[in-house]
Amino acid sequence: MTPRLRVAPSPTGLLHVGTARAALFNWLFARRHGGVFIVRVDDTDQRRSTPEFERRILEGLRWMGIDWDEGVEVGGPHGNYRQSGRFERYREVAGLLVEKRAAYRCYCSPPELAERRKQAQRAGRPPGYDGRCRSMPADEDQRRQEAGESHVVRFALPRPGMTVFTDVVRGEVRFDHQVIDDFVILRSDGSPTYHLASTVDDVDYRITHVARGEDILPSTPRHIQITRAMAAPEPTYAHLPLLHGQDGGKLSKRHGATDVGEYRRQGFLPEALFNYLSLLGWSIGPERTIFSREEAVEDFDLTDVSSSPAVFDPAKLTWMNGEYLRNHLSQAGFAERARPYTEEFLGQSLPDEMWDGCSEVLPLVQERVKLLSEVGPQLAFLLSERIEYDPRSWKKVMSKPGVDAVLTGAIAALSRVEDWRTESVEQTLRDLIAELGISAGKGFQPVRVAVTGSSISPPLFESLAALGRKKALQRLTDARSRISS
RNA sequence: GGCCCCGUCGUCCAGCGGCCUAGGACGCCGGCCUUUCAAGCCGGUAACGCGGGUUCGAAUCCCGUCGGGGCUACCA
């Protein structure tokens, strides 16, 4: 049987890295086993769902290199793959379940429920629904329904009972029905709850493997019971370990960026995020950290997924991104990816000839950045007419004695250079410090700050060469006059 | 509180009864290289939560305990 997997984000927020990781594992499994990967949008919560969130979630998935064979936007045999378009179907199933007495109408009002919950808690009983309407005589139910009384539909969990299933990552798991109440499947406004909609979709779409976060492990017996009541085959479940923040809690905004788009904006490569996320709860094998999508597909299996939670570590992601930037991207590839970030930083689009003017220093920048967003700041001295002096650099380097002489010497020497190239500039400046009898550090740092505005920059001679003689001399002159004033 | 899940360096992962005086990666610390910053190279730091079993032998199996997390809605 062809495996069919899905990820079902709710468009009530941006693409969370936890959702992205779940999507990734489902995708990897589907690709590994020649299965079908589906993206479905769980938008039953119409209050909080928006098309904009949906758009950005799908964009994020695509950006990460996760594609889908069936689902929202790409289509397939099951409509538009949005739950909002299937309410009739959910109501139909709920009706069927009521007919089979696997579900029942409940007329208890929210205030009543709240009151009874409070009482139960005080008395030390479980706070869930007490099942009052489950035993309502048929004629009363009919009368109240016909009278148009507000009601929900609850699932009638088999009692006494127990749901036992084998989770791929956790082994056998069992839940006694005593601790699960008769949960709502259809709200009073006729909309389905997550439990119903998700289960019906998994059944209708013939999902074979449900891999999702461990946070819904306690809901799984409900889904299994609905599935059984529908007389449908049960999918295999795999509950993925949760992603935690540094403080050990479920990963959330307070731990920093949680949405994939934010990582994109910060200049992470999708390949790096993909690689990093796949390593959270899974391993491709001993001694391997960096690997391609294809290699992951070749090796992945849900049975190898670990069952303990993983802390999301931005520092390691950042390291890995640097690794990808310098070792897994050609110079041209790097230039192409860096350009939009650089333009964003400068607040303007760059003419080709200007961007091409960076071609010599760009490879040097490539080996020293960890994020694409760092490229702009490193290149600003080349791309902006005016430079801004970093105050700390200025103070550290330019306020030292002898700087004036160095700059004066550099101006004089460099203005005599006819053939303005990296090598000639280097030779000239090396001759200069020899002549002045000063160290490289003492001689080169003032020139660096004068020309780039910062004590941290790409290599000096290449930078000077790329800047051009005229601009270089101009900046040295400007800096010198700034010192004396 | 109840139910469920989890427990190897600070973090991610390897280990699935002897190959472990526990391995790799990130981080951190030190050194080399060096015009800055990186990168690179070399070295170091650091863990099987605890207590009982089972076994000739346990990080690996069992039980307990402690600790962490999740769920406990007409959210998903």
C-alpha span between A56 and A265 (Å, rounded) = 13
Which pLDDT belongs to residue A401? 87
- Residue where the block lists tokens 């017996």: A221
**pLDDT at A253 (0 to 100):** 82
pLDDT at A246: 87
Q: What is the predicted pLDDT for the residue at A394?
A: 93
Q: Which of residues 21-80 of A touch strand B (CB under 7 A)?
A: 42, 44-45, 48
- Positive/negative CA dihedral, A17, A21, A26, A27: positive
Nucleotide nearest to A442 (CA to C1'): B35
CB of A459 within 7 Å of some strand B atom = yes
Q: For residue A343, give the nearest of A401, A277, A267 by alpha carbon.
A: A267
Cα A16 to Cα A161: distance, rounded to the nearest angstrom: 36
Q: Any atom of strand B under 7 A from CB of A442?
A: no
Q: Kindly determine whether the C-beta of residue A215 is less than 7 Å away from any atom of nucleic acid strand B.
A: yes
pLDDT tens readout for residues A84-94? 999 999 999 99
pLDDT per residue, tens digit, chain A (485 aa), is 899 999 999 999 999 999 999 999 999 999 999 999 999 999 998 889 999 999 999 999 999 999 999 999 999 999 899 999 999 999 999 999 999 999 999 999 999 998 898 888 888 788 889 999 999 999 999 999 999 999 999 999 999 999 999 999 999 999 999 999 999 999 999 999 999 999 999 999 999 999 999 999 999 999 999 999 999 999 999 999 999 998 888 888 878 788 999 999 999 999 999 999 999 999 998 889 999 999 999 999 999 999 999 999 999 999 999 999 999 999 999 999 999 999 999 999 999 999 999 999 999 999 999 999 999 999 999 999 889 999 999 999 998 888 999 999 999 999 999 999 999 999 999 999 999 999 999 999 999 999 999 999 999 999 999 999 999 999 999 999 998 76
Round to whole Å and give the CA distance between A379 and A249: 39
Tell me the ipTM for this assembly.
Answer: 0.95
Distance A66 CA to B11 C1' (A): 27
Amino acid at site A257: A
How many Å apart are CA A438 and CA A432, to the nearest integer? Answer: 9
pLDDT of residue A400: 86
Length of chain A: 485
Q: A36 pairs with which residues across the strands?
A: A4
Closest of A218, A220, A198 to residue A90, by C-alpha: A198
Residue A190 · residue A140 · CB < 8 Å: no
Q: How far is the CA of A442 from the C1' of B38 (A)?
A: 20
For residue A152, list its beta bridge partners: A106
pLDDT at residue number A257: 84
Whether the beta carbon of A319 falls within 7 A of nucleic chain B: the reply is yes
Q: Which protein residue has its CA closest to C1' of B1?
A: A124
CA A366 to C1' B38 (Å) is 10
pLDDT of residue A141: 96
Residues 324-343 of A with CB under 7 A from strand B: 326
Nearest one of A430, A460, A268 to A361, comparing CA atoms: A460
Nearest-nucleotide field for A287 (CA, C1') = B24
The position carrying tokens 């904006």 is A265
Q: How far is the CA of A372 from the C1' of B38 (A)?
A: 14
Identify nearest nucleotide to residue A367 by CA to C1′ distance: B39
CA dist list (Å): A121 to A117, A129, A160, A182 = 6, 12, 22, 17
A374 touches strand B (CB under 7 A): no
Determine the pLDDT at residue A125.
81
Indicate the residue type of A64: M
pLDDT at A248: 81
Q: Give the per-residue pLDDT at A378.
A: 95
Report d(CA A232, CA A229) in Å as an integer.
8
Question: Amino acid identity of A104?
Answer: Y
Give alpha helix (H) positions in A301-402: 314-327, 331-346, 352-356, 362-366, 375-383, 391-393
Tell me the pLDDT tens digit for each residue of A12-52.
Answer: 999 999 999 999 999 999 999 999 999 999 999 888 999 99
The pLDDT, as a whole number, for residue A228 is 97
- Residue A124: the pLDDT is 78
* Chain B nucleotides near the protein (CB, 7 A): 1-8, 10-15, 23-27, 34-40, 68-76
With a 7 Å cutoff on the CB, does A152 touch strand B?
A: yes
What b/e readout covers A284-297, taking b as 16+ CB neighbours within 10 angstroms? Answer: beeeeebbebeebe
Q: Which nucleotide is nearest to A429 (CA to C1')?
A: B35
What nucleotide is nearest A184 when CA is compared to C1'?
B74
Strands A184-186, A103-106: pairing kind: unpaired
Positions of A marked catalytic: 253
